[in-house]
């Protein structure tokens, strides 16, 4: 039975990954300091093959026994989080990645870094391919997250090239689904609660900025396939279907039968104007592309939000 460590395992994506790995027959250790994660995300996973360890991965990581896979997902991941936790975001991207890679080297484990489309910044190339180096403001308010992930990618490749660690890097584009934290600063978990309460839906800017939204189960499938591959350079995983933030808000209002109206607030500094993955590499390398339509995923996510209110 393969044994996996998931850092950030009590977070939105980490908890879905833990669930998926258990279904694949792995023993799973979820590690999280619960800064932005929550035990509620993993309570239903309790079994003899699942263990939770509360630990800050910027400190030395000790795990008894063998580890076959290290999935490094620990990091604040929403704009609200990394604006409020800038130092912690930088530390987990640098020190946390260093500790997780050190564990992988010690255990001869395969390692996967959960990177982000934010490494492309406010892109001047559209859609974004893996060979695009990005347009990032390193000293802007979003730089703490963007540069933490860019550094983490560089460190991961250094361990691969110079320490022979078997590493993978996934660049995750906008993802949604159950267990997102309400009002965490991202569009969908902000819009759905507002719509369900018939409150004004807050849009930053004029709403013409675009994102490409992937349902969480599709994303996790792509990430698993990447870990099991022999490819070491970054790979985009996300939905190439691009839509404006205004379109997303209108869709959520329609699906929830809400009476909400749209209100506009100023666009945050360095907010990307466009975001769309080129997934040619994922299709060719992994035979992967998203299968769940955005509206189908939204209905599942809306049902989940209804259940927690």
Using one digit for the tens of pLDDT, what is the confidence trace for 139-151? 999 999 999 999 9
Using one digit for the tens of pLDDT, what is the confidence trace for 26-56? 999 999 999 999 999 999 999 999 999 999 9
Contact between residue 192 and residue 305 where contact means Cβ atoms under 8 Å apart: yes
Instruction: Please report the pLDDT score of residue 183 as a whole number.
Output: 76
Task: Give residue limits of the domains in the chain.
Answer: 3-176+214-239+277-286, 187-209+242-276+294-308
Neighbours of 125 (CB within 10 A): 14
Rounded Cα–Cα distance for residues 193 and 219 (Å): 23
Instruction: Please report the pLDDT score of residue 269 as a whole number.
Output: 84
Instruction: Please report the pLDDT score of residue 268 as a whole number.
Output: 83
Instruction: Please report the pLDDT score of residue 257 as a whole number.
Output: 98
Instruction: Please report the pLDDT score of residue 276 as a whole number.
Output: 96
Using one digit for the tens of pLDDT, what is the confidence trace for 151-177? 999 999 999 999 999 999 999 999 999
From the list 242, 233, 224, the residue with the least C-alpha distance to 287 is 224
Classify 187-209+242-276+294-308 by CATH class.
Answer: alpha beta
From the list 156, 152, 149, 119, the residue with the least C-alpha distance to 134 is 119
pLDDT bracket for residue 194 (50, 70, 90):
very high
Rg over alpha carbons for the chain, rounded to the nearest Å, is 19
Fold of 3-176+214-239+277-286: Rossmann fold (3.40.50)
pTM above threshold 0.85: yes
Q: Under 8 Å CB-to-CB from 227, ≥6 apart: which residues?
A: 69, 71, 110, 112, 168
**pLDDT, mean of residues 194-223:** 96
Instruction: Please report the pLDDT score of residue 82 as a whole number.
Output: 87
Query: What's the mean per-residue pLDDT of the chain?
Result: 96
Using one digit for the tens of pLDDT, what is the confidence trace for 252-279? 999 999 999 999 999 888 888 999 999 9
Tokens of 72: 């490094």
Residues with a catalytic annotation lie at 145
**pLDDT, mean of residues 87-101:** 98
Using one digit for the tens of pLDDT, what is the confidence trace for 276-307? 999 999 999 999 999 999 999 999 999 999 99
Rounded Cα–Cα distance for residues 277 and 212 (Å): 7
Instruction: Please report the pLDDT score of residue 184 as a whole number.
Output: 84
pLDDT bracket for residue 185 (50, 70, 90):
confident
From the list 182, 180, 290, 174, the residue with the least C-alpha distance to 243 is 174
Helices (H) and strands (E) in the chain, counts: 10, 13
Paired strand residues for 214: 175
pLDDT tops 90 at residue 102: yes
């Amino acid at each position: 039975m393969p044994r996996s460590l998931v850092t950030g395992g009590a977070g939105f994506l980490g908890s879905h990954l833990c669930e998926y790995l258990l279904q694949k027959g792995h023993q799973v250790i979820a590690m999280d300091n619960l800064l932005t994660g929550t035990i509620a995300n993993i309570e239903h996973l309790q079994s003899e093959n699942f263990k939770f360890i509360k630990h800050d991965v910027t400190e030395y990581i000790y795990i008894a026994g063998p580890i076959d896979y290290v999935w490094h997902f620990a990091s604040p991941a929403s704009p609200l989080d990394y604006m409020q936790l800038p130092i912690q975001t930088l530390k987990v991207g640098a020190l946390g990645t260093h500790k997780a890679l050190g564990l992988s080297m010690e255990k001869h484990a395969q390692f996967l870094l959960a990177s982000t489309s934010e490494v492309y910044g406010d892109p001047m190339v559209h859609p974004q391919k893996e060979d695009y180096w990005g347009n990032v403001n390193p000293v802007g308010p979003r730089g703490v997250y963007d540069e933490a992930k860019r550094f983490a990618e560089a460190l991961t490749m250094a361990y691969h090239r110079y320490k022979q660690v078997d590493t993978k890097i996934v660049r995750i584009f906008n993802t949604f689904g159950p267990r997102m934290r309400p009002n965490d600063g991202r569009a969908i978990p902000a819009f759905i609660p507002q719509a369900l309460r018939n409150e004004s839906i807050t849009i930053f800017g004029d709403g013409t900025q675009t994102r490409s939204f992937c349902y969480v189960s599709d994303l996790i499938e792509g990430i698993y396939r990447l870990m099991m591959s022999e490819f070491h350079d970054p790979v985009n995983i996300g939905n190439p279907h691009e839509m404006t933030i205004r379109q997303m808000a209108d869709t959520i209002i329609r699906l929830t039968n809400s009476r909400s109206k749209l209100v506009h607030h100023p666009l945050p500094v360095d907010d990307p104007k466009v975001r769309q993955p080129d997934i040619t590499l994922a299709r060719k390398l992994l035979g992967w592309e998203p299968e769940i339509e955005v509206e189908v995923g939204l209905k599942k996510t809306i049902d989940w939000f209804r259940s927690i209110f």
